[in-house]
Structure 1
Amino acid sequence: MCGIGGIFQRRSDQPIDEQLLVNMAAIQVHRGPDGFGVRSLPGQGVGFCHARLSIIDLDANRGRQPFVSEDQQLLMAHNGEFYDFQAIRASLTAQGSRFTSKSDSEILLRLYQQRGLDATLPLLRGEFAFALFDRSLDTLFLVRDRFGVKPQYWALTKEGLVFGSELKVLFAHPGVERRFSSEGLFHQLMQTMVPGTTAFAGVHQLKPGHVLTVRRQGGEFLIDDRPYWDVGFPRQGERDGGRSEAEHVSAVREALLEAVEVRMVADVPVGCYLSGGIDSCSILGLAAAVSQNPVKAFTIGFDDARYDETPIAASMAEATGADQLVMRLSGNELYGHLEETIWHTERTIYNTLAVAKFLMSREVNRAHYKVVMTGEGSDELFGGYPAFRRDMFLHGLDTLPAADRQEWEQLLQEANQLVQGAMLAEEQVSDPALEAVVGFTPSCLQPWLACAPLVPDLLAPQHRQACEGYQPGAAIAATLDRSQLEGRHALDRAQYVWIKTMLEGQILTWGGDRVDMAHAMEARPAFLDHHLAAVAVQVPPELRIKGKTEKYVLREAMRGLLPEQLYRREKFAFMAPPAHADADKRAAMQALADQHLSPEAITAAGLLDAEGVAALFERHDHPDTTPATRVQLDAVINHLIGVQIMHKLFVAADLPAQARRQADALGWRLHQEEQAEPAYALIGMSAG
């Protein structure tokens, strides 16, 4: 895993400022402290930068990116991992390709040379984002992996296009505007983002499974954004009905084992995140089974027993012989590191789990680990969230007898109490635009749609006016591919919407890559292997959620690995305790609010309305406010604090100057390379 960035000018005769590329690499040094590179193609108006975290091929010089092809036609920078790269490299070598490194990244360059992009993409397995410039086509390609594990942002300037792994990489370029859009601010306060957007005007995030093609023509860009992959739930009646339950269980087990095996390949040790859930316990169990040595397991514990899963995690670690490290956190630690965390998430967070994972990635780094496997993606593919059970009950069990429906309803009420207000809305929310596309309003979006009516009163007048009549549900619905929803079972549709919204915009950003890579730590989510996904979508809904049991087929596939207590346990949403859970957490949140949400701070930023913010706090603390509503308002307060911090870090600060100072502090220097091609490389390797 690494960080990339680059500049593509509108005209090929516009020179590239290599020092600016150095600065763009320097501001993301946390993503890649092991090596740095800058290359431009003179006379082509294009240059890339790369900050390297060495995991495959540790030789600093041999594996350095960006790569330039021998004929100077291709320039490439890659962030992430390509699995099965050894077999692909062997096949390409047999066909005449010559490799200059042992890096997995180089297979992309060689595949493209032999087959072109469209034939290459289906062969790429893993988590990745890359940029590739083809001189013969005068075209830049930006690509993001299928589920969006790795980030990729881009923006247009007067001179051209700027891209990078993080927003701050773009903001290191003085031509990229740093300004909240009114709609972006609206969505920061209600949690759910519109796919493909950010909080900032003119700054886009490439959607998962998409290719952005930017062709230069007469000083202008022809831009095409298209998908190359989608989840592909079968239409009802098209799923393979000939497979028995046992065959589905076996297929899931084999596919997950293969996904874990390929992710154990590294030139450094691979650890595992371990909570008390089926997902991470399954990953650890399989990793321990294929490893020759004890696996290092990293566990987050909380000081609130209702949210703490360490006892089950400890039982799993003992059963597998894992070397477990447990990090326990209190409210002071969770809120004490919020600003640091938002510097990396670059968006607001509703729950301080993001802070917990930020602190855990620091512990992983201190333990001298660079790679961990994680359990993200299991709930998305196998129906694990409370929202899925609710949607299945309301929209997918039309033929269920009345007595069974009553039993289901009671189960839902009992099981969902702890997550109401955060993962489930207290009251049902209906959005016409989403119902028109999906057939119902997905339960996963309802808690945040329930926040939307609160937002206008919290906005500064100019933003409130700009958002008058704005419908956030309609904006989200417009990005969903109807062809992937029509004719599908209700559970399929619910899971698809979650994958396109909550998974990419939350779990894989502020719960994943952004806080993991804050301390140069690569997370490998084995469940998000697209080969495993192809098996999972064939599992009938009634085997994903069977009776009262969610993730049934996965439980059965992993039954031999799991402690009996965990095998029989219901899904528990892994999240940090909300602020109102006890007085210390509430005090820690209030201290941040006093700093960032004072009338003076609100006036200075120009984003919020002080009277609206004060009224929200009054409602939060009112004795008649229900617990579920208080959870919801906790989230909104976190967002209010977050947008103020974002303004401080990304708008008020001079990020281009900050990036230059970072490069100077690292002692990075550009030197002409002693080689035939007129390209540049960054020689200074010190991370400070």
Structure 2
Amino acid sequence: MCGITGWISYDNDLTTQRRTLDAMTGTMACRGPDAAGIWLGTHAAFGHRRLAVIDIDGGRQPMSVEADGRTPTRPTSAERDGRAPAQPSPAQPTSIEHDGRTLLVTTYSGEVYNYRELRAELENLGHTFRTQSDTEVVLHAYLEWGEAFAQRLNGMYAFALWDPRTEELLLVRDRMGIKPLYYHPTPDGVLFGSEPKAIFAHPAARPVVDAEGLAELITFTKTPGHAVYKGMHELRPGHLVRVTRRGLTIKRYWALEAREHTDDLDTTIAHIRELLDDIVARQLIADVPLCTLLSGGLDSSAITALAARALTAAGSGPVRSFAVDFTGYTENFKADDLRGTPDGPYAHALAEHVRSDHHDIVLDTAALMDHGHRAAVLAARDLPNGFGDGDTSLFLLFKAIREQSTVALSGESADEVFGGYSWFHNPEAVHADTFPWAAAGVAGRFAGGTATREALLDPGLLGKLDLPGYEARRYREALAEVPYLDSDTGLQRRMREISYLHLTRFVQILLDRKDRASMAVGLEVRVPFCDHRLVEYVFNTPWSMKTFDGREKSLLRAAARDVLPDAVADRVKSPYPSTQDPRYAEALRAELKDLLADRDAPVRPLLDADTAARATADGATSDIRPGAELVLGMDAWLRTTGTTLEL
């Protein structure tokens, strides 16, 4: 797991641009605290910050393949089966030449979990390796199979490949979008990076947000490819971008497809368990300390229990687990319609059940309101579109974990895959003519409140942005992508749509949050439930099978029940916790009041001054959390990033 960046310029000699590359690379030091590297070519320049996880000594980057004369030139497998032309082309490099030249360079982020199998296959085809890293396997896989190599990768990744022979760049992102990758076309090439800040370190890019970008920021959705900033794009999951002197082209190499599900219930449950056992075993591979994130919910408990079994079988247990908690949270917990139970007792029950080396990270309101912590979260996210105290607590949890582990396995994304959220089972939300989470009004409640995020914004601004219209357009775009079977009718057809919306939109909100918070402290978080084999299989199981026991996540519960205590297996879904300490809302109110007194506050022109004044008046009791979190975040964002709003 690392941070990558680069610059392609066909009109300039980039061998003289080390200072610019150093600046771009330096913005991601937190993503890669272990090493930094720069590669400069005539028209391509790559930067890399490394978090060393596999092959600590040999995996330094940027990494290249050099033609050294040790292996004879030969046709690739793509040529042998007639899929590649005899001469080099952008899509299929045709042979490994060995005349002392650089054949291929990469700056790579992520993990390929099947790299050992791919390496063995490539060695049988005549490739030689000088490291034990998955990075080198990716290089040789491209040399052998061209663009088709992406379909062979199992993992989470975002990387760039530069072919000096054809002067072409390839950007690749994993199927589910676990790892981020942004790009910014220029008149003579492109800038790219793991995060927008890397691109903005280049003098040709400036942070500008127009009305559409601001609407994307405020609405609780994440449009694939939309980066909020004007002129910048996020590479869509399962896509690649090729850049040549002729311009930029985008190609999809993976998408969810509708397939007939022929397995019966018992076979389906058994296959899901087989997949989970294999996925967890693969994702436990690391040359550094590893742990799990444990909330006591079904998802994280299943991952922790399966990891404990795998490590015990390998003689390397116990598994180390971590949970977040707040001072007095369990003792004073108040249930609501989103969170029915506190995590602590269930996390402890699972930890005791599997005998994990468990640690609670307990946070107080002072830590959540600390300006330094919140500034670090905003810097990590690049945008003020988060979950309020949920972002700060996640950052602090990861920071504490990083003191003891470098890699963590998470239960994230199981709700999107198996249908776990309450609105999956709410007929009004399911049949609403919008995103179901929007119909359920969860944006504010995820941040610990009940009001809308835009509650304190100027009505004139909201009219210009037309948030309902923007959300409706994005919803229609998403529905137009959904694949169907002829047999999909009624509820089954609608639930296929609901599943697709979550797997391509909602999950991106959470994966981006997870990536930014973890990489801000140099922690690699792996997401077993995002393995594309599992996602494809469960996506095509009928909704009646996904709810066969009348509950949420029926298939996952059945597949993992034997490794879980009953109390954990039967627990109702409870999302990531948010502090219930009333002093947190009071602190937000006081900070917002101070902001309103600052006539130079950059966010003031965006506010409804009367509504904000009433919300901060002495004795005010209205729900302020979601709106205040957004406003305070936007103010800090505008102050610190130099972002210009073009409204």
Which bin holds the TM-score, normalised by the shorter protein? 0.7 to 0.9
What is the CA distance between 1:557 and its match in structure 2? 0.7
Residues 191 and 394 (structure 1), Cα distance of their counterparts in 2 relative to 1, 3 Å cut: closer
Letter in 2 for 1:86: R
Q: Which of 261, 282, 292 in structure 2 is aligned with 1:262? A: 282
What residue in structure 1 maps to residue 511 of structure 2?
Answer: 508
- Could you tell me which runs of 5 or more consecutive residues in structure 2 were left unpaired when the two chains were aligned: 67-100, 445-450
Trace 1:175-214 onto structure 2 (pairs within 5 A). Answer: 175-214=204-243
What residue in structure 1 maps to residue 495 of structure 2?
Answer: 491
Q: Is the 8 A contact 2:452 2:626 kept in 1?
A: no
Question: Structure 1 residue 56 and structure 2 residue 54: aligned?
Answer: yes
Question: Structure 1 residue 342 and structure 2 residue 372: aligned?
Answer: no
Q: Is the 8 A contact 1:350 1:636 kept in 2?
A: no
Q: Which of 429, 438, 445 in structure 1 is aligned with 2:438? A: 445
What residue in structure 1 maps to residue 478 of structure 2?
Answer: 480
CA distance in 2, matches of 1:143, 1:619: 51
What residue in structure 1 maps to residue 357 of structure 2?
Answer: 323
- Could you tell me which runs of 5 or more consecutive residues in structure 1 were left unpaired when the two chains were aligned: 396-429, 431-439, 654-688
Question: Any idea what SS the aligned residue of 2:254 has?
Answer: coil
Question: Any idea what SS the aligned residue of 1:294 has?
Answer: coil
What is the CA distance between 1:391 and its match in structure 2? 4.7
Letter in 2 for 1:648: R
Q: Is the 8 A contact 2:410 2:528 kept in 1?
A: yes
What is the CA distance between 1:460 and its match in structure 2? 9.4
Residues 640 and 114 (structure 1), Cα distance of their counterparts in 2 relative to 1, 3 Å cut: same
Map Cα deviations across residues 578-616 of structure 1 (whole Å, 9 max, x no partner).
xxx4431112222432454545243x3576135266167
Q: CA RMSD in A?
A: 2.7
Further displaced range: 5-14 or 174-183: 5-14
What is the CA distance between 1:315 and its match in structure 2? 1.0
Residues 538 and 195 (structure 1), Cα distance of their counterparts in 2 relative to 1, 3 Å cut: closer
Question: Any idea what SS the aligned residue of 1:140 has?
Answer: strand
What is the CA distance between 1:163 and its match in structure 2? 0.7
Letter in 2 for 1:549: R
What is the CA distance between 1:75 and its match in structure 2? 2.0
What residue in structure 2 maps to residue 589 of structure 1?
Answer: 588
What is the CA distance between 1:226 and its match in structure 2? 2.8
CA distance in 1, matches of 2:51, 2:614: 43
Q: Is the 8 A contact 1:275 1:299 kept in 2?
A: yes
Trace 1:113-192 onto structure 2 (pairs within 5 A). Answer: 113-117=143-147, 119-158=148-187, 160-192=189-221
**TM-score scaled by length of structure 1:** 0.79
Residues 595 and 74 (structure 1), Cα distance of their counterparts in 2 relative to 1, 3 Å cut: farther
What is the CA distance between 1:455 and its match in structure 2? 4.5
Map Cα deviations across residues 462-515 of structure 1 (whole Å, 9 max, x no partner).
x668536982124423542624244552222112112222211x21112x1100
What is the CA distance between 1:380 and its match in structure 2? 0.8
Q: Is the 8 A contact 1:76 1:132 kept in 2?
A: yes
What residue in structure 1 maps to residue 248 of structure 2?
Answer: 223
What is the CA distance between 1:14 and its match in structure 2? 5.9
Question: Any idea what SS the aligned residue of 2:206 has?
Answer: coil
Question: Structure 1 residue 79 and structure 2 residue 79: aligned?
Answer: no
Residues 196 and 612 (structure 1), Cα distance of their counterparts in 2 relative to 1, 3 Å cut: farther
CA distance in 2, matches of 1:597, 1:190: 24
Question: Structure 1 residue 332 and structure 2 residue 335: aligned?
Answer: no
CA distance in 2, matches of 1:529, 1:172: 33
What is the CA distance between 1:541 and its match in structure 2? 0.8
Letter in 1 for 2:395: F
Pick 1 or 2: higher relative contact order, CA cutoff 8 A, min separation 6: 1
CA distance in 2, matches of 1:503, 1:345: 16
CA distance in 1, matches of 2:28, 2:453: 35
Question: Any idea what SS the aligned residue of 2:305 has?
Answer: helix
What is the CA distance between 1:567 and its match in structure 2? 1.6
CA distance in 2, matches of 1:453, 1:301: 26
Question: Any idea what SS the aligned residue of 1:458 has?
Answer: coil
Question: Any idea what SS the aligned residue of 2:561 has?
Answer: coil
Trace 1:103-122 onto structure 2 (pairs within 5 A). Answer: 103-117=133-147, 119-122=148-151
Question: Structure 1 residue 20 and structure 2 residue 20: aligned?
Answer: yes
What is the CA distance between 1:86 and its match in structure 2? 1.1
Trace 1:231-242 onto structure 2 (pairs within 5 A). Answer: 231-234=256-259, 238-240=260-262
CA distance in 2, matches of 1:453, 1:281: 32
Residues 480 and 136 (structure 1), Cα distance of their counterparts in 2 relative to 1, 3 Å cut: farther
CA distance in 2, matches of 1:472, 1:483: 17
CA distance in 1, matches of 2:318, 2:204: 50
Q: Which of 260, 269, 277 in structure 2 is aligned with 1:249? A: 269
What is the CA distance between 1:317 and its match in structure 2? 0.6
CA distance in 1, matches of 2:441, 2:104: 44
What residue in structure 1 maps to residue 569 of structure 2?
Answer: 567
What is the CA distance between 1:331 and its match in structure 2? 2.8
Further displaced range: 371-380 or 174-183: 174-183
Question: Any idea what SS the aligned residue of 2:199 has?
Answer: helix
What residue in structure 2 maps to residue 678 of structure 1?
Answer: none
Question: Any idea what SS the aligned residue of 1:131 has?
Answer: strand
What is the CA distance between 1:138 and its match in structure 2? 2.9
**TM-score scaled by length of structure 2:** 0.84
Q: Is the 8 A contact 2:458 2:609 kept in 1?
A: no
Question: Structure 1 residue 608 and structure 2 residue 637: aligned?
Answer: no
Question: Structure 1 residue 294 and structure 2 residue 318: aligned?
Answer: yes
What residue in structure 1 maps to residue 91 of structure 2?
Answer: none
What residue in structure 1 maps to residue 347 of structure 2?
Answer: 313
Question: Structure 1 residue 282 and structure 2 residue 282: aligned?
Answer: no
Q: Is the 8 A contact 1:191 1:349 kept in 2?
A: no
Map Cα deviations across residues 83-109 of structure 1 (whole Å, 9 max, x no partner).
111121121112111212111111111
| Identity across the alignment (%) | 28
Map Cα deviations across residues 281-324 of structure 1 (whole Å, 9 max, x no partner).
00010101010221110111123324630111011111111101
What residue in structure 2 maps to residue 417 of structure 1?
Answer: none
Q: Which of 54, 65, 68 in structure 2 is aligned with 1:69? A: 65
Letter in 2 for 1:477: Y
Q: Which of 637, 648, 655 in structure 1 is aligned with 2:639? A: 648
Further displaced range: 21-30 or 279-288: 21-30
Residues 391 and 74 (structure 1), Cα distance of their counterparts in 2 relative to 1, 3 Å cut: farther
What is the CA distance between 1:134 and its match in structure 2? 2.3
Q: Is the 8 A contact 2:214 2:465 kept in 1?
A: no
CA distance in 1, matches of 2:278, 2:346: 25
What residue in structure 2 maps to residue 98 of structure 1?
Answer: 128
Q: Is the 8 A contact 2:423 2:429 kept in 1?
A: no
CA distance in 2, matches of 1:539, 1:520: 37
Letter in 2 for 1:179: V
Equivalent residue pairs, number: 581
Q: Is the 8 A contact 1:357 1:515 kept in 2?
A: yes
Q: Is the 8 A contact 1:22 1:38 kept in 2?
A: yes
Residues 460 and 142 (structure 1), Cα distance of their counterparts in 2 relative to 1, 3 Å cut: farther
Letter in 2 for 1:49: G
What is the CA distance between 1:195 and its match in structure 2? 2.5
What residue in structure 2 maps to residue 390 of structure 1?
Answer: 426
Q: Is the 8 A contact 1:259 1:526 kept in 2?
A: yes
Further displaced range: 297-306 or 587-596: 587-596
CA distance in 2, matches of 1:74, 1:597: 55
CA distance in 2, matches of 1:295, 1:97: 36
Q: Which of 518, 524, 529 in structure 2 is aligned with 1:522? A: 524
